[in-house]
Amino acid sequence: MKANILLNVVVISQNNGRRHGLVKSLVVVDHVVKYLVINPGGILSKAQFFKPENIVDVNYKRMVIGNEKDIIKVNGKKVKAYLEEAFPLMDYQVVDINGEAFGHVVNATIEDDTFAITEYEISRSFFDDIDHGFAIIPAADLVYKDQVLYYEKEMFDIGFKNQGTGIANKLLGVK
């Protein structure tokens, strides 16, 4: 499944039908989605997140979890204990082997059973996305350290999807 279908959907408990808020972020550790962060709304609300194993059903509008007890609610000081080795998936910066920042994560492919990320979709720039489309990088080629995703090659070694490239090519036939 694609990561973007897990974002901005309402979280509902299956046991009582209660709505908990929208999923606002996916927290990743070692290329595995560990938590989904809920934005419950309200200024004084506690941080809320849950493990992806608790998802019963998901579509583009809603996500059903088994029980509201599956949601972890903690105050701001305790959040770091849960998320210390983690990074938020979307819009995360990607740097090549030479230390050059060249893009950010816009989506990822997640295995249904293990919630492991197999590949990341990287946007290098608006115009490059129009010309060539997003770059697809296997998760094995990216290393997370010092709060940055490092690509183990140079930025020009990135491959593209085989299904065609870029919006300009798909819509206008531009080559």
List the one residue out of 137, 138, 132 whose CA is nearest residue 164: 132
Q: What is the DSSP string of the chain?
A: -BGGGGSS-EEEETTT--EEEEEEEEEEETTEEEEEEEE--SSSPPEEEE-GGGEEEE-SSEEEES-GGGSEEE-HHHHHHHHTT-EESTT-EEE-TTS-EEEEEEEEEE-TTT-BEEEEEEE--HHHHHHH--EEEEGGGEEEETTEEEESS-GGG-EE-TT---HIIIII---
Tally of domains in the chain: 2
CATH number at residue 32: 2.30.30.240
| Both tokens assigned to 91 | 């819009």
Answer yes or no: do 15 and 30 share one domain: yes
Based on the domain organization, do 29 and 106 belong to the same domain?
A: no
Give pLDDT, residue 97: 83
Of 88, 117, 139, which residue constitutes the final position of a domain?
88
Quote the pLDDT of residue 13.
92
The pLDDT of residue 160 is 47
Report the pLDDT value the prediction gives residue 119, as an integer from 0 to 100: 92
Same domain, 45 and 73: yes
**In this structure, are 8 and 66 located in the same domain?**
yes
pLDDT per residue of the chain (175 residues) written in tens, 0 to 9: 889 888 889 999 988 888 888 888 888 888 999 999 888 766 656 778 899 999 999 888 899 998 888 888 877 666 666 666 666 777 788 888 888 888 888 889 999 889 999 999 888 766 555 555 678 889 998 888 877 888 877 766 655 443 345 555 555 554 4
The pLDDT value recorded for residue 98 is 84
Whether residues 97 and 84 share a domain: the answer is no
pLDDT at 164: 44
Q: Of 36, 57, 88, which one is at a domain's C-terminal end?
A: 88
- pLDDT, residue 93, reads 83
Whether residues 116 and 60 fall in one domain: no
Look up residue 6 and give its two tokens.
């897990």
pTM recorded for the entire structure: 0.77
Q: Which of 88, 119, 150 is the last residue of a domain?
A: 88
Cα 12 to Cα 38: distance, rounded to the nearest angstrom: 11
Residues 55 and 117 in one domain: no
Contact 35, 47 (CB under 8 A): no
Same domain, 81 and 153: no
Residues 45 and 29 occupy one common structural domain: yes
What is the extent of the structural domain holding 53?
A: 3-88
Q: Residues 138, 65: one domain?
A: no
Q: Are 7 and 84 part of one and the same domain?
A: yes
**Same structural domain for residues 8 and 69?**
yes
